[in-house]
Chains A and B, each alone.
With several copies, the nearest count.
Chain A
């Protein structure tokens, strides 16, 4: 054993606002795992010269997940609850050379922000959205999310959730954007590869990341230890090849189907706009 004051850098330190660490997330919280995978993918793409990290911008709403914008060393806007997607949209319009990443929670993206998600996906607008799905409103203390499994208790449904649950990935897929995938923090290396795949693409890209909220969702579902919850999630998150999107499942008791469900290269919104409207003196990408 060596104890050292020597500056041994964590491999991602250049991509973190290290002065703000430790971050606010609870012990064992899955958000940090997802963020780690994302930062690795950016680091690799940057080092390979595929993207310029200076152009990468984080856009987050409000929530535990959304706090990520405060810990990463990129341009970042910590905006309003539910509004990360329109802010990212505007930024991309303002400077089409930016590489916007929306990184936010399930409540933020799929509940209050649902309409922005819907229309950004439908337009195939040129942003990457990473939705960390911990199946609850964590920051505010565990209220019902649209993603909370039916029957599970939340602080606003103390006798269990009476609502039909939302499969965000299936719904986004119905809008046919360029990239739709769902994975889990229990699949860290795959996650990294998927981020790497999606990030340099044009058009709308959606990645749902199943995550562990150890503090709140764990408590509501009776998992006391972060690892217990993680193991449970690992068990049900099954990667599958599917023939129709109808087949994917979002079922906390048995299976949450993971995989890349759409990966295509249709013209994006900005491709179309630039083609039809030719804004004077502007170009959109080289390709």
Chain B
């Protein structure tokens, strides 16, 4: 069996942080790019609080069998509790992205750690902490180079309700800029 190219991505945070939507949007974007994507969710019963986690398995050229990641190549943690809980699911040499609004220091010494205050940026620059997820996706485009920010914005535009469109697109830009400014491109 020949191995195709494969990325395992985890995004985790608290309920209410838009983790599932982020995963969904990211998945849709990557499918548009032509990749195979499996996107799975874990969440607690609570609408707010509790765990929330998106797993994405992205393969190029071959349909994936796995649903849950085995160990993430790319990990995004939006809250410290979940980082601690899910750290074991991340490869040591993974790219780990943290929302520094809620995370002071990483649980582990991953080889590549990027801290950006997504929630703070959302709050300050978009006046809406709920779109921290979109800020994150904007940055992710820069950091991973897996997809173009334009394609991402296309997907968001068609997926969210009209009244929410602008604020989301704005948030993506904020994230994109922030990452660019940090020289992560």
Contacts and interface: CB of A to CB of B under 8 A. Distances in A.
Q: Decide if A and B touch, CB cutoff 8 A.
A: yes
Interface of A: 24, 26-27, 64, 138-139, 141, 215-216
Contacts, number: 16
Interface of B: 45-50
A216 B48 CA distance: 11
A65 B68 CA distance: 32
A215 B45 contact: no
A27 B48 contact: yes
7 contacts: A24-B49, A26-B48, A27-B48, A139-B46, A139-B47, A215-B48, A216-B47
Nearest to B46: A24
Nearest to A215: B47
Main secondary structure of the interface of B (DSSP, over half): loop
B167 to A, nearest CB: 13
B47 A138 contact: yes
A58 B16 CA distance: 29
Nearest to B50: A24
Contacts of B50: 24
B45 A139 contact: yes
Given A139-B47, A215-B47, 7 more contacts: A24-B49, A24-B50, A26-B47, A138-B47, A139-B45, A215-B48, A216-B47
A266 to B, nearest CB: 34
A141 B47 CA distance: 7
B8 to A, nearest CB: 28
A26 B48 CA distance: 6
Nearest to B48: A26
A138 B49 CA distance: 14
A246 B71 CA distance: 64
A26 B49 CA distance: 8
Nearest to B44: A24
A24 to B, nearest CB: 5
A141 B46 CA distance: 9
B102 to A, nearest CB: 16
B51 to A, nearest CB: 12
A215 B48 CA distance: 8
A17 to B, nearest CB: 17
B125 to A, nearest CB: 20
Contacts of B48: 24, 26-27, 215
Contacts of A26: 47-48
A88 B122 CA distance: 47
Contacts of B47: 26, 64, 138-139, 141, 215-216
Nearest to A141: B47
Nearest to A142: B47
A139 B46 CA distance: 7
Contacts of A138: 47
A159 B50 CA distance: 30
Contacts of A215: 47-48
A139 B48 CA distance: 10
| Shortest Cβ-Cβ A-B pairs, 4 listed | A26-B48, A24-B46, A215-B47, A24-B49
Nearest to A62: B45
Contacts of B46: 24, 139
Nearest to B45: A139
Best-buried of A24, A64, A138 by chain B (most CB within 10 Å): A24
Nearest to B47: A215
A72 B135 CA distance: 39
Contacts of B45: 139
Contacts of A24: 46, 48-50
B130 to A, nearest CB: 11
B160 to A, nearest CB: 14
A126 to B, nearest CB: 32
B85 to A, nearest CB: 17
A22 to B, nearest CB: 8
A139 B43 CA distance: 13
A139 B50 CA distance: 13
A141 B15 CA distance: 13
A183 to B, nearest CB: 25
Contacts of A216: 47
Nearest to A26: B48
